[in-house]
Amino acid sequence: MNLVLLQPEDFISGSGRARLRGRRLKHIREIHRAVPGDRLAVGLTDGLIGRGEIMAADDSSLELDVELEHEPPPPLPLRLVLALPRPKMLKRVLISAVSMGVKRIDLVNSFRVEKSFWGSPLLTAEKLREPVILGLEQARDTILPQIRLHKLFKPFVEDELPELIAGTTPLVAHPGRNAPLPDAVTDPATLAIGPEGGFIPYEIDQLQQCGFRVVSFGPRILRVETAVPALLSRFMKV
Amino acid sequence: MNLVLLQPEDFISGSGRARLRGRRLKHIREIHRAVPGDRLAVGLTDGLIGRGEIMAADDSSLELDVELEHEPPPPLPLRLVLALPRPKMLKRVLISAVSMGVKRIDLVNSFRVEKSFWGSPLLTAEKLREPVILGLEQARDTILPQIRLHKLFKPFVEDELPELIAGTTPLVAHPGRNAPLPDAVTDPATLAIGPEGGFIPYEIDQLQQCGFRVVSFGPRILRVETAVPALLSRFMKV
């Protein structure tokens, strides 16, 4: 937790003082080992970042005097369309993507996504919020990303994808003898990444008909948790 | 397992037939669900890749007729110097780095590496081999990387690092107002990545004295398992 992410309801009404309990209290006391007088990086969800000085702390709550001054880091100008990863990978992939600044993630079905993945208890809005918060706290960001689930590939591509890719360069990373992914992409983009084993030819056809360009990321087949940060890196301005 | 990695001792002496048991047998039968007549991607450790046709299979062993024809994918022209990650991250980071083609990994101490990490049972040569094999199988590679451990930072930097970086561009990724990491690095490089929280100023000084250039990877602080593939990506030719 490189930043304590605050909600409006954490603030004592009408003041610049926030009161924390639960996970954040525990983390600040046990991991940061912070005590009254210490100052921590804080941010308001969907708002500014700044510093919070610990004014009081005991086993049940902690109070911070908060000053919010700066914009969070710029978002990654990339929309991610990702074949639903297996549940044990999903959380890590979401933390990675959110920490790198992705603000729109569409998790889609594909022929090679196992049906059982869609039954994972991790796919509720509440459970999906956990890796999102961890990713924002990691990167000192405050802007919540949108995550959408699409259990049917064809209706998503035909009915929703055209609007999603509007104003962006749509690319699909796919193994094979395609044009290489550019070293650095500076315009807003939409990047589609298939499941382990890749999208099937029918799905690639559908994406191409929607306007996607098929690009290669070299001969090595990477696990999704490696491929996602490696691919997103090409869209980062540093 | 996108490639079955074979050892010389898997071959029935004087033949092109390999006999597998244990983990690889189990994986081929249960995950690939392959049967006699099926052909699998195979490779010989530190050698060529090709195809293996299953000639026989039962619960105790499986026999493959092997033809080795092609070079494995080119290595990443990058030596990785990485502050020892916490044990639960180490395996995943090694799989990522090996699958992306890194052939030399030096795990080093740093002020912010917890002492207890060096006591991890994962740091034996035998245990380190597991993620290495998984990374090679993932990326259809055969060339074993070298992994070295350095429990003392200063003697490593003073006595061993000059030789390691010879003929490469030495870079250390470090948060702050430094020159940005280039979009694409094509010459051989050595990349140093610090622990969570970064190298301390003394360590950065030592690396600079050794010839390292300090480069920034943007304002976002990334977990090591995200940072490693994201950084390595900038050195990949696709």
Instruction: Find, in chain A, the residue whose alpha carbon is nearest to that of B94.
Output: A226
pTM: 0.95
- Cβ–Cβ gap B221/A139 under 8 Å: yes
Instruction: Find, in chain B, the residue whose alpha carbon is nearest to that of A216.
Output: B238
Is the ipTM here above 0.90? yes
Which residues of B fall within a CB distance of 8 Å from A140?
A: 219-221
* B172-195 residue pLDDT tens: 999 887 888 887 777 899 999 999
Q: How far apart are CA A170 and CA A173, in angstroms?
A: 10
**Chain A interface, mutation test: which of B76, B226, B228, B232, most A Cβ atoms within 10 Å?**
B226
- On the question of pLDDT at A183 being above 80, the answer is no
B181 phi, psi to nearest 5 deg: -60, 135
Which residues of B fall within a CB distance of 8 Å from A238?
A: 180-181, 216-218
Both structure tokens of A17: 């003082």
Q: Which domains does chain A have, with CATH numbers?
A: 4-70 (2.40.240.20), 78-233 (3.40.1280.10)
Distances (CA, A) of B94 to B129, B150, B224: 10, 16, 11
User: What's the pLDDT at B5?
Assistant: 96
User: What's the pLDDT at B183?
Assistant: 73
- Cβ–Cβ gap A73/B138 under 8 Å: no
Query: Given CA atoms A31, A33, A38, A44 in this order, what sign does their dihedral have?
Result: positive
Distances (CA, A) of A230 to A221, A222, B186: 12, 9, 16
* B29-87 residue pLDDT tens: 988 899 999 999 999 999 999 999 999 999 999 999 999 999 999 999 999 999 999 99
* A100-149 residue pLDDT tens: 999 999 999 999 999 999 999 999 999 999 999 999 999 999 999 999 99
For chain A, give the mean pLDDT. Answer: 94
- Cβ–Cβ gap A219/B73 under 8 Å: yes
- Cβ–Cβ gap A223/B180 under 8 Å: no
Which of A181, A183, A229 lies nearest to residue B226, judging by beta carbons? A229
Instruction: Find, in chain A, the residue whose alpha carbon is nearest to that of B230.
Output: A230
Q: Which of B109, B81, B105 is nearest to B95 (CA)?
A: B105
